Amino acid sequence: MSVNVLVVDDSKLARINAGKALRTLKPEWNKVEAGSAAEAIEILGHETIDVALIDFNMADRDGLSLAAELRQLHPAMPIAIITANIQDEIIARAREINASFVAKPLTAEGLQGFLSGAALRLRSAG
Amino acid sequence: MSDGHGIELTELEKDALTEVVNIGVSRAAISLRKMIGEHVLLSVPSLEVLGRERAAALLVQQGGDQLVAVKQSFSGAFSGGALLIFPQARSLELARAVTGPEMTNDEVVEIEQEALAETGNVILNNCLATMANMLKRPLTMSIPHIVKGDGTNLLAQAGDDQDDGDAGLVLFLYISFSVRERDLQGYIAMMMNMSSLLALKELLGAFIAETMAEDF
């Protein structure tokens, strides 16, 4: 089964970094990019997404609000909030919607735990 | 350093604020190190209550009058502006450092603004979020913006969303950092108005009390 990872970040540099980390850890997974929450919703309407990496600090709508919507639609999807905003409140809000928290700058090392967990969940579900 | 406006930090409060800023900036420096893969040196934070013009002059004195900054405003128990500042002449080099060696020159030029904005976003968020965690009050951070010009331009833009009922006096925090291997130098600056200083003074009091309590 091929796995589709949705990367939502309004910064191109951040999406490039996420792509690098993904290629290192899961070279066989596909990356789908969205530059905003709206674009992410649009993509979700016509593509099957298995895993989501979502930036918190975005202009039109923040990543936690997008993640909450995503969680309602897909109760079991592995979702990670990616942000340099490491405040306790942000981490707590991510936990509330059953999303993981991964700190920016994103590195393969930092993403490894979340992706391994996600792979495990996908395997046991599929 | 206050001009008699009644709000002054005690030595212990200044000490505590320096400590909080130090830890925030160190966290930010670790992030920058991860992004560019080189050692980042930090100065000791300096903090002063002064007029906006003097703060602007300080920036020019340190970095010249052709500056570029990533600016984020923050609000919560205390509010203000935070800036990551570089000489304009070095901003492409910074973009090159964070994008990595596999990009061509043209690609780096194309992505320069975005690379700066995202670098600022990571650095300033790390720094402010760490301070918020230590002082136990949440802060909301804006989306990063790029501003260019001399010190006056940068600080005017940094403070444009604040009330100015304090005769232009601000708490000005200033840390320089450098990456020797790449001949990069920059500054992190934070500016808060006087009403925020009052709120900050209270939070520092609580932080100090807690630190003391842990000691005994």
- Residue (of B129, B63, B118, B62) closest to B94 by Cα position: B118
pLDDT at A9 over 60: yes
Q: How far is the alpha carbon of A123 from chain B, nearest alpha carbon, in Å?
A: 32
The residue in chain A having the minimum alpha-carbon distance to the alpha carbon of residue B128 is A85
Interface predicted TM-score (ipTM) of this complex, two decimals: 0.80
| Interchain contact A38–B (C-beta under 8 A) | no
Whole-Å CA distances, B54 to B51, B72, B166, B167: 5, 21, 15, 13
* Contact across the interface for A12 and B35, Cβ inside 8 Å: no
Q: What angle do CA B134, B136, B140 make, to 5 degrees?
A: 100
| Interchain contact A116–B (C-beta under 8 A) | no
> Which is more confident, B185 or A1?
B185
Distance CA B57, CA A84 (A): 30
Rg of chain A taking only CA atoms, in angstroms: 13
Q: What is the pLDDT of residue B156?
A: 76
pLDDT at B165 over 60: no
> Which is more confident, A108 or B61?
A108
The residue in chain A having the minimum alpha-carbon distance to the alpha carbon of residue B131 is A87
Chain A residues near residue B82 by CB distance under 8 angstroms: none
**Mean pLDDT, range A59-79, rounded to an integer:** 96
**Mean pLDDT, range B136-150, rounded to an integer:** 93
Q: What is the pLDDT of residue A47?
A: 96
pLDDT at B166 over 90: no
Distance CA B64, CA B87 (A): 7
DSSP secondary structure letter of residue B39: -
pLDDT at B216 over 70: no
Instruction: Count chain A–chain B contacts defined by CB atoms under 8 A.
Output: 58
pLDDT at B158 over 60: no
Q: What is the pLDDT of residue B2?
A: 43
Least confident stretch, B33-37, B120-124, B143-147, B155-159: B155-159
